[in-house]
Amino acid sequence: MKSRSSLQLTSGLLAAVLSLSATRAAEGYVPVKGLAPMPPEIAALPVEQAVLTPPPLVPPAITRRSPARVVVDLEVREVVGRIADGTQYTFWTYGGTVPGSFIRIREGDVVEFHLNNHPSSKLPHNIDLHAVTGPGGGAASSFTAPGHSSQFTFKALNPGLYVYHCATAPVPMHISNGMYGLILVEPAEGLPPVDKEFYVMQGDFYTVGAYGEGGLQTFDMAKSIDERPTYVLLNGAVGALVGDKALAAEAGQDVRIYFGVGGPNLMSSFHVIGEIFDRVYPEAGLKFVQEHVQTTLVPAGGATMVDFKVDVPGTYVLVDHSLSRAFNKGALGMLKVSGAEDRVVYSGKEVDSVYLGSQSAAGSLSSKREDELKKQIAAQIKANPTIAGLTKEMQMEKGKQVYMQNCFACHMPTGEGMAGVFPPLAKSDYLMADRERAIRIVLKGLNGKITVNGVDYNSAMPPQQDVLTEEQIADVLTYATNNWGNAADAYTVDEVRRVKSDTL
C-alpha cells in the first residue's frame, strides 16, 4: 500500500506543477482574451443568426437598412466526397461543401463568429476571412483543435465580396482540400437587384492518380508544390454544375454570379460561353463597374461579381478560359436558360453546305505522292553502298567528337585504356564480341570484374544514357569499333533504342 500511495502522490504533485506551466504556455500561443466589451450602441444592436447556404445557392438579399449583430456558426468537417464519377477525395470543408457555406452580411454589421471543428476531424483548422480587418483576418483567433469551438468578433468595415479560407499550415494543402468560400459584405445601400443569384468558386486539386482515375484519391504534395493540378474544378467536383445540377434561369432574367477563386495556386480567366457580362465588379470592388466584358481575370484568393441578362434560351457553359483546365481538368459548369427563342438576337444554325478548301481531293492526292517519294529516297540511300559508306564515315567523325569529350580520359585517345585499371578498346575481344552488350554498357554502365584480352579488370564505368543521345551512342560505338585495328558495321540508332527499351 505504501508504494502505491507514494507513487500517486509523486505523480499528482508533478502533474499539478506541470499543469501550471503547460497551461500558461499553451494558452500563451493563442491567447483567449474573453468576450470583447461592447459599447452600449453596439450592445443595443438587434441580434440575428446568419443564414448560410451551400453552393450554388446564395442567401437572400439583406433588406434591413441599419447594422445588426450577426451570429455566424460555421462547422469544419473532414468528409469523403465525390470529386469525379467513380473517384472520391477527402475534402476538408466549411459546412460540408466545397466551396464552403456562403455568408452574407451588411457593411457596418458586428459579426460574432463561431468556428466549430467537428470531433471527427484529424486536424486543427482556422479561418482567415478577407473581409476582416485585423492580423490574420481572424486566423489566430479562430485556430481550433478537433472537437473544439472558437469565437471571435469583427466589424465589417469594407463592403465587397471576399474569399475566406483556412490558414493553418500547410496552407496550400488545406486550401486544395477545399477549405474556402465567399463572404459578401453588402454595401449599406444594397446591391442592384437581380432575378437570380448564384455562388460559384474555382479551385485546383492535386491527386496521386491521374484525372478520372477511380477510387479514393490521395493528395499529391509534389504536384501541389509544382502547381500541376490534376483537377481544376468549379464547385468542388467534375460535373458539379452540369446536367440536372446546372444553374437555371429563364430568358429575360438578370443573373448575378458571385464568383471566387480559392486556389491555392491558379487564377481564373472566368468566361461564360455565349454571354457577355453586362456589368463586372473587377476584383469584387464596388467603386468602378466595368461594362460589356467577355472574360474577367480573378486572382487566387480573390473574387468578382458579374451581372448579365440572359436573352436567348439554351445552355451557356461557364469555364476558366485557360481551356485545358475546362477541357481536361473539369473547370466547366452550365447555365441552362429556358424560354422562348428570339431568332433576331440569335438565329441558330441557318444553313449547312459542303466546303472543301485545301482538303479537296486534288490536295490530298498530292500529299500522298510526296510521302511515297520520301520513302523511295530513304530506300535508295540504304541500298547504295557509296552513300552507306559516306554515312558510316560521317558517323565515325561525329563519334570521334563524342569520344574526345566523354571517353578518352579513361580509355585514352589511342583506345588503349590504362593497364590494370581501364580496359582497352583497341583490338578488344570483349568490345567486339557482342554488339548488344557493348550498347548496354554504354547506356547503363558496368560494375565488377571482366576479362579483356586475357587481363582482368575490376572497376566501374558510369552509365551514359542520361548524358548522351541515342544517336551519339550509336556514333561513338561506330567510332570505337572501326578504329585502332577494330572493324565492324556501323551501329544504328534503332539498335541502341532496342537495347535501351529491353533493359528499362
Partner 1 sequence: MLTAVQFRRFTDNVSRTLRAAALAGVFFFPILAQAMSASAGQPPRDVAPVLIPAGVYRPLSRATTDPETVAVAAFRLDALPVTNAQFLAFVTTHPQWRRSRVSPLFADETYLRNWAGDLDPGPASPPDSPVVNVSWFAARAYARAAGLRLPTLAEWEVAAAAGYTTPIGRAEPDFVQDLLAWLARPVPAVLPSVATAKPNLHGACGLHGLVWEWVDDFNTAMVVGESRADAARDQNAFCGGAAAGVSDTSDYAAFMRQALRSSLKAKQGTTSLGFRCAEDLPSTDLPSP
C-beta of residue 395 within 8 angstroms of C-beta of residue 420:
no
Binding partner 1 (rule: CB under 8 A), the pick from 87, 97, 126, 481 is 126
DSSP H helices in 81-185: 171-176
C-beta of 265 vs 269, nearer to partner 1: 265
The span of 47-55, 119-127, 181-189, 425-433 binding partner 1 (CB under 8 A) equals: 119-127
C-beta of 78 vs 475, nearer to partner 1: 78
Contact between 275 and partner 1 (CB under 8 A)? no
Smallest separation (angstroms) from partner 1 to the CB of 463: 21
C-beta of 81 vs 108, nearer to partner 1: 81
Within 167-196, which residues bind partner 1 (CB under 8 A)? Answer: 167-171, 173, 177
Contact between 355 and partner 1 (CB under 8 A)? no
Helices 435-444 + 493-502 axis angle, to 10: 70
C-beta of 182 vs 257, nearer to partner 1: 182
Residue 162 CA to residue 341 CA, distance in Å, equals 37
Smallest separation (angstroms) from partner 1 to the CB of 227: 13
Contact between 218 and partner 1 (CB under 8 A)? yes
Cα distances (Å, whole numbers) of residue 1 to 6, 10, 11, 15, 169: 9, 14, 16, 21, 49
C-beta of 169 vs 356, nearer to partner 1: 169
- Cell numbers 490521395 label which residue? 218
Smallest separation (angstroms) from partner 1 to the CB of 204: 16
Contact between 19 and partner 1 (CB under 8 A)? yes
C-beta of residue 220 within 8 angstroms of C-beta of residue 230:
yes
Smallest separation (angstroms) from partner 1 to the CB of 230: 14
DSSP 464-498: -TTTS-HHHHHHHHHHHTTSTT---PPP-HHHHHH
Residue 319 CA to residue 91 CA, distance in Å, equals 22
Instruction: Retrieve residue 337's grid coordinates.
Output: 436558360
Binding partner 1 (rule: CB under 8 A), the pick from 9, 17, 27, 413 is 27
Binding mask 59-78 for partner 1 (x = CB under 8 A): -------------------x
C-beta of 8 vs 447, nearer to partner 1: 8
Contacts of 146 (CB under 8 A, 6+ apart): 117, 118, 119, 120, 121, 122, 123, 124
Q: What are the φ and ψ backbone dihedral angles of 159, each rounded to 5 degrees?
A: -75, 160
The span of 62-70, 136-144, 267-275, 484-492 binding partner 1 (CB under 8 A) equals: 136-144
Contact between 13 and partner 1 (CB under 8 A)? no
Binding partner 1 (rule: CB under 8 A), the pick from 41, 44, 65, 122 is 122
C-beta of residue 298 within 8 angstroms of C-beta of residue 180:
no
For the beta sheet containing 332-338, the strands, ordered from the edge strand earlier in sequence to the opposite edge, are 247-250, 332-338, 314-320, 268-273, 295-298
Instruction: Retrieve residue 249's grid coordinates.
Output: 434561369
Residue 323 CA to residue 344 CA, distance in Å, equals 30
Smallest separation (angstroms) from partner 1 to the CB of 224: 8
Contact between 147 and partner 1 (CB under 8 A)? yes
Residue 290 CA to residue 229 CA, distance in Å, equals 31
Contact between 22 and partner 1 (CB under 8 A)? yes
Residue 471 CA to residue 493 CA, distance in Å, equals 5
C-beta of 92 vs 270, nearer to partner 1: 92
Contact residues toward partner 1 (CB under 8 A) are: 2-4, 6-8, 10-12, 14-16, 18-19, 22-23, 25-30, 78-80, 90, 119-124, 126, 128, 135-136, 139-140, 143-148, 167-171, 173, 177, 208, 218-221, 225
